[in-house]
Structure 1
């Protein structure tokens, strides 16, 4: 019996087969796009459009197209998840990292004048421990975590009077723990937790 929903298989040269992209590949391209937007090479409307296409992409070829005019090309990634870092540095405009995204083990969040929001509530988090290195100038950083997560402020943080943590310190069993290394200046770092329901 032939399944008509599946495409017929044909023997093709190896070079004609498009390699499939994974979540980490899509996140790498998303980060390149955010950096490009921060540098003013694409505007926010184009950033949103390209991010939608990034998270819908299935192959390396589809991802390459999205960064080809930005001087980037996606290579097969060999770095382990432990080495992955997401860097968020808004320039003049506010920046929001939210929706469905893959959380790496380490996030660097820096803002001088803008509001930077990192919302973990719909994110996919394969790790039990995440570190956020957060620093502000006159801008401020807002971290939003799901219920069940634990958030602790690392002892190496400075100017802790400008760090407000309204999330639980203890995580529920099996839930991630977020460690914040905060270095706020004038602008605060605020952490809140989504309430139940």
Structure 2
């Protein structure tokens, strides 16, 4: 009976390697620390509740500096480098996906996608660029003696407003993940169901 149940169970599809899941989790943890410490620095009620501003500043700075490290370590993985290649390619089917998303057409047939859909590609590109800008402006704010005052003032303006934008975008990213349990399972366990893969990523051929 046990053998029969196993044979009838739907086959899973390998989506992410252990290294890819580690990169995602570590980056998410560091980003979470950056967002929470930033909130404690800029929201008066949280600042009063937490106190120890100097410690919060140091945690924020070092978490920000560490943000690129998981990705750099992940480059040693062939699977991770392959996924970066998938994320970096934008084809005709991605434009079709975006048009359907803009028109709120949720039919699976109208949203063709490879391993990553167009929304995921745009998010990955945007968050990578935003992280680099935050790192650069943060360094200007940290090492004040290296740049003129006008540069530091501009860096502070960009850093603060981009941080707010990142918080909003991350909230949207988390909300979409919460709405898709199978996608979360793929990041948690590395595998997804064949049915989900065929429905959400019909052009993906693992």
Q: Flag the structure with larger Rg.
A: 2
> Would you tell me which structure has more strand in proportion to its own residues?
1
Give the alignment's TM-score, normalised by structure 2. 0.21
Give the alignment's TM-score, normalised by structure 1. 0.22
Say which structure, 1 or 2, has more relative contact order (CA 8 Å, 6+ apart).
2
> Would you tell me which structure has more helix in proportion to its own residues?
2
